[in-house]
């Protein structure tokens, strides 16, 4: 109950001094708010709000060169608290990355400290299922082609790897 009152900013007439924002009550309130957030972003309103942020690339861009600055989605690796921090998921290459550290003073400066349970492991996949247009626009990442002075380098290893990638992509 105290956590809910703190979230709703209910002022108690008996208390004239502000709460201690570093105590256990604040930590419990932050966790409760984060878990409510994890449930909210799975609703249609929450998915629409997060889709707008995704389209603006507010969660960052994929660090993989072949993804051509693909916007990423936040993902929590666990739904339990204090298991891991939030990570980012690239819908194009389907990899999970630790978020890049943004410049000091930016709005995303504190995102590396957010508990992954506040997003949860379900969100990015549910958004892609709910918005098929996201998947329709995506193609596989472009493979890196080694070149020396602008000329392709022939090495049997690269051809074998490329054939293996194409075979695995073609297999049902």
Going by C-alpha positions, the residue among 140, 142, 143 that lies closest to residue 161 is 143
Within 10 angstroms of residue 60's Cβ, the number of other Cβ atoms is: 19
In the DSSP assignment, the letter for residue 84 is -
How long, in residues, is the chain? 172
Report which secondary-structure segment, H or E, holds 27: helix 24-40
pLDDT tens readout for residues 34-85: 999 999 999 999 999 999 999 999 999 999 888 888 999 999 999 999 999 9
pLDDT tens readout for residues 108-117: 555 567 888 9
Higher pLDDT, 46 or 147: 46
CA 103 to chain centre: 18
Using alpha carbons, list the distances in angstroms from residue 51 to 105, 124, 132, 157. 25, 10, 12, 40
The model's pTM: 0.71
């Amino acid at each position: 109950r105290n956590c809910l009152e703190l979230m709703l900013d209910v002022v108690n007439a008996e208390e004239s001094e502000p709460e201690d924002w570093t105590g256990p009550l604040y930590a419990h309130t932050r966790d409760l708010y984060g878990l409510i957030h994890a449930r909210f972003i799975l609703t249609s309103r929450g998915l629409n709000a997060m889709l707008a942020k995704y389209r603006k690339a507010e969660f960052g861009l994929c660090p993989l060169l072949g993804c051509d600055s693909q916007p990423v989605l936040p993902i929590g690796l666990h739904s339990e608290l204090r298991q891991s921090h939030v990570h980012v998921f690239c819908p194009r290459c389907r990899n999970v990355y630790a978020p890049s550290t943004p410049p000091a003073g930016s709005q995303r400066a504190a995102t590396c400290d957010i508990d992954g349970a506040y997003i949860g492991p379900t969100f990015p996949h549910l958004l892609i299922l709910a918005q098929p247009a996201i998947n329709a626009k995506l193609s596989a990442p472009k493979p890196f082609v080694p070149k020396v002075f602008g000329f392709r380098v022939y090495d049997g290893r690269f051809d074998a790897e490329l054939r293996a990638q194409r075979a695995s992509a073609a297999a049902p």
